[in-house]
Amino acid sequence: MLNNLLKAKGVFVCVLLLSCSAPASDTDILEKLKAARADLEYKIIGPSEVPGFVELQIGNDSNFYVSSDGKFLFDGDVYLVGEGDFSNVKEFKLNDARKQAIIGLDFEDLIVFEAQGQRKATINVFTDIDCGFCRKLHKEVPGLNKLGIEVRYLAFPRAGIGSKSYQKAVTAWCSDNPLTALTDYKNGVDKQILECDENPVAEQYQLGQTLGISGTPAIVLDDGTLVPGYRTADAIAKILDLPG
């Protein structure tokens, strides 16, 4: 894990009660980080809710915080202590980011299984062709559609761009009938690999990473809430406050 790697190389974890020095510029902070580990890529996201710290992205992982003087670094979730509960600060931010991303999706880039009769709700599913639980969830799609739930698929090949799962996703999205092609793949049917210009698979995969998607299936509701993992149609209906 990156956390262990960082510790092994002598990067110190800042205890939040420590007092830190005067703030440094973003450029100065990045220079200090690169002086410690030049082989890693850093990006300052912006101020955090933790006083004296800014949010930091290392590689594709944005779950880091660095002190405003660039001397201390820690990773992990930060929780806001509220009235009767703890709230994950990053998840709260991601909810809004996911909501805005869903609003901005191009309908034509999605593989959509429409609701039967009146559409009562929509779920947006980041899926991997070869994921066992994704295939299991796909078997729930007819039941979801009967309940009035529209299922919109986005591609998230966990093995990355260029992998076999990626090629299968591209094939499904490029097929004359993407719904049939995707269903065939989910049922274990092998297909001839296809390619087409401007397919959205790589873009959707990168979007998922930006929105905190790390596994599949990942269901994103229209309000930005992330529901990770497999759920039955009735369970999803209950989450959406619909009769099962």
Residues 89-131: pLDDT tens digits?
Answer: 777 778 889 999 999 999 999 999 999 999 999 999 999 999 9
- Residue 68's closest CA among 34, 110, 24? 24
Residues 21-72: pLDDT tens digits?
Answer: 556 789 999 999 999 999 999 999 888 888 899 989 898 777 799 999 999 9
Round to whole Å and give the CA distance between 105 and 144: 21
pLDDT the model gives residue 19: 41
Tokens linked to 61: 């992982």
- Alpha-carbon separation of residue 46 from 3, 9, 10, 75, 179 (angstroms): 21, 25, 25, 15, 40
Q: Where does the pLDDT of residue 214 fall: very low under 50, low under 70, confident under 90, or very high at 90 and above?
A: confident
Residue holding tokens 């969830």?
A: 137
pLDDT the model gives residue 22: 58
Residues 131-154: pLDDT tens digits?
Answer: 999 999 999 999 999 999 999 999
Round to whole Å and give the CA distance between 221 and 102: 9
Sign of the torsion angle spanned by Cα atoms 129, 133, 136, 138: negative
Round to whole Å and give the CA distance between 163 and 146: 34
